[in-house]
Amino acid sequence: MRRINTFAALALAAAAPLAFADNVPAPVAGPIPAGAYTVDKPHTSLLFRVSHMGFSQFTGRFTSVKADLNFDPENVAGSSVRVTIDPKSIATDNAPGGFLDELAGSQFLDAAKYPQMTFVSKSVETTGKDTFRINGELTLHGVTKPVTLEARYNGGYAGHPYDPHARVGFSATGSLKRSDFGVSFGIPGPGMPVGVGDEVQVTLESEFSGPALAKVAQR
């Protein structure tokens, strides 16, 4: 009987979002406005992957990410973004005791000495209907180097009855060599398979909240 009740509860839970979706009002019609957008933290994730002895792509994330976007959907090339990351917010799955402190410590990110990582766009190139390339500068471990992100605009709206602000969403990927930023601990030497890779793959998923709907309506 308990198993039947469990399956019934799961079925109701699965159906609930569909029922709720039927009652959600549609976004407000109108063009997505240009202007200043601020990152929506609950709908933003910054992941990194790096080779672990060639056996797997070790995956981690940063949980404290701030970003300010100046976005114009009619002129993406004229847009700009600044991202600020707290290196102490590094996190991984199933981290053993002391491991995160080691990653944030002097052998890797040295967060006590370099308490902030930043990415600042310098130019944006349109590469397709909804894709573009962000050329910027990453400051990590006290070193600033150029880094390029391949990005996609996932869409947005001018406002919603439940959220009366414009909203837009993006996906972006990129890569860097950590040795370029002075983070070389654990990189295997020539012919040595044991170690942590130099190349770091980065994935960003993010939503931004923009101008208030009332202000949009006045334009």
- d(Cα 118, Cα 181) in Å, to the nearest integer? 13
pTM of the model: 0.85
List, for residues 110-139, the tens digit of each pLDDT value.
Answer: 999 999 999 999 999 999 999 999 999 999
Q: Of how many residues is the chain composed?
A: 219
Q: Which of 172, 175, 166 is nearest to 197 (CA)?
A: 175
- What is the token pair recorded at 67? 């970003």
List, for residues 90-106, the tens digit of each pLDDT value.
Answer: 999 999 999 999 999 99
Please say whether the beta carbons of 33 and 211 come within 8 A.
Answer: yes
Range in 8-17, 188-197, 205-214 the model is least confident about: 8-17
> Mean pLDDT over residues 45-71, rounded?
97
Please say whether the beta carbons of 79 and 60 come within 8 A.
Answer: no
Specify the CATH class of 2-218 in words. mainly beta
> Mean pLDDT over residues 22-39, rounded?
88
- d(Cα 76, Cα 130) in Å, to the nearest integer? 9
- What is the token pair recorded at 112? 């006590």
**DSSP-derived 3-state class of residue 145:** strand
Averaged pLDDT score across all residues of the chain: 89
- d(Cα 17, Cα 4) in Å, to the nearest integer? 21
pLDDT of residue 189: 87
Q: Is 70 a residue whose pLDDT tops 60?
A: yes
